[in-house]
Structure 1
Amino acid sequence: MNDTVLDPRVRIGHVHLKVSDLERSIRFYRDVLGFQVMQRFGDAAAFLSAGGYHHHIGLNTWESLGGSPPPPGRTGLYHTAILFPDRPELGKVLRRVLEAGIPLDGAADHGVSEAIYLRDPDQNGVELYRDRPQDEWPRQPDGGLAMFTRPLDLQKLLSEAAT
């Protein structure tokens, strides 16, 4: 293997977000998206996960208590992408997002994945998605990826939601 190519087992482990209101952010990530609070540091930080992992999402107000989102046109995090294991689980979280009255920024079928886009309470971009199996990914004749962006049928996704 080329020394400049990462080992395929490498993963991005977690995201740590500066938020303006810790309780509001916990309600979003816990009550809407379904993460569990694993640990809190008073009213300044919380660590949340899926499945008992130490944390997938860190939230803190150390430098941002009462702050405002960065203005458009600035560099920074575009979105955090949260991978779901299958369509029923993605449909289940979509149902909770819609029931909470959270507007969607969009939804797309990219061929390799199906994604729902929204914003957290601090206007951080959030992508909720599921990958298709690699053998179903669209390919070009030379074997390269042929990703695309097409509308995602949200009603069909909701009908497949796990109960």
Structure 2
Amino acid sequence: MSYTVPAQTRIGHVHLKVSDLQRSLDFYCGLLGFELMVKYGDQAAFISAGGYHHHIGLNTWHSKGMPPAPENAPGLYHTAILYPTRKDLAAIYKRLTDAKVPFTGFSDHGVSEALYLNDPDQNGVELYWDKPRDQWPKDENGQLTMYTHRLNLSNLLQELES
């Protein structure tokens, strides 16, 4: 029997193994602006946007002091963090650029615009916003046709002028 997950289902949080808890907190809270909800010594922390119990869990239970996971092995490709507006995405882009954080890519996917970078443990991070559904590209049959084009960063930054 076929089953379809309910449309209101959401991915609730991601829990990352990190090698240095404070270094990860400096990145996710200090740089990206997440709020620390609870910390368990130097072993684990739960962080949030807007006071939710946690959107991201960080722990060193099996990874303290360890090197990053191999790039060419199964595992998490990236954590995607959805911003509510294009202006919010522009603001975090400017903040990270001003802090000289290296990016790994910038994409317009037709349905969304995204910035890509790595956290201190080389876990991929996607920062993005979704375009309104009525702007999503579709073919002549009404099927979604996502793509990957280079994101126009100067156009994105114009959002901060309004």
TM over 0.5: yes
Structure 1 letter corresponding to 2:129 = R
Structure 2 letter corresponding to 1:104 = F
User: Is contact 1:91–1:162 with CA below 8 Å preserved after alignment?
Assistant: no
Structure 2 letter corresponding to 1:89 = D
* SS of residue in 2 equivalent to 1:39: strand
User: Is contact 1:88–1:162 with CA below 8 Å preserved after alignment?
Assistant: no
Q: Deviations over 1:20-68 (max 9, x none)?
A: 0000000100111110000001111110000000000000001100011
Structure 1 letter corresponding to 2:76 = L
Q: Within 5 Å, give how 1:105-116 maps onto structure 2.
A: 105-116=104-115
The answer as to 2:29 corresponding to 1:30 is yes
* SS of residue in 2 equivalent to 1:12: coil
User: Is contact 1:46–1:59 with CA below 8 Å preserved after alignment?
Assistant: yes
Measured in 2, the distance between the counterparts of 1:81 and 1:161 equals 22
* SS of residue in 2 equivalent to 1:129: strand
Runs of 4+ in 1 over 3 A off after TM superposition: none
The answer as to 2:117 corresponding to 1:118 is yes
Deviation at 1:3, TM superposition (A): 5.2
Measured in 2, the distance between the counterparts of 1:99 and 1:18 equals 28
Counterpart for residue 97 of structure 1: 96
Deviation at 1:96, TM superposition (A): 1.6
Measured in 2, the distance between the counterparts of 1:86 and 1:3 equals 36
Gaps of 5+ in 1: none
Gaps of 5+ in 2: none
Deviation at 1:156, TM superposition (A): 2.1
Measured in 2, the distance between the counterparts of 1:98 and 1:25 equals 19
Deviation at 1:162, TM superposition (A): 8.0
Once superposed, what is the RMSD of the aligned Cα atoms?
A: 1.5
Q: Deviations over 1:70-111 (max 9, x none)?
A: 122111000000000011100111112112221110001010
Deviation at 1:13, TM superposition (A): 0.4
* SS of residue in 2 equivalent to 1:117: strand
* SS of residue in 1 equivalent to 2:72: coil
User: Is contact 1:18–1:64 with CA below 8 Å preserved after alignment?
Assistant: yes
Q: How many residues align?
A: 162
The answer as to 2:26 corresponding to 1:12 is no
* SS of residue in 1 equivalent to 2:127: strand
Measured in 2, the distance between the counterparts of 1:103 and 1:4 equals 42
Structure 2 letter corresponding to 1:154 = L
Measured in 2, the distance between the counterparts of 1:123 and 1:37 equals 21
Structure 2 letter corresponding to 1:159 = Q
Structure 1 letter corresponding to 2:47 = L
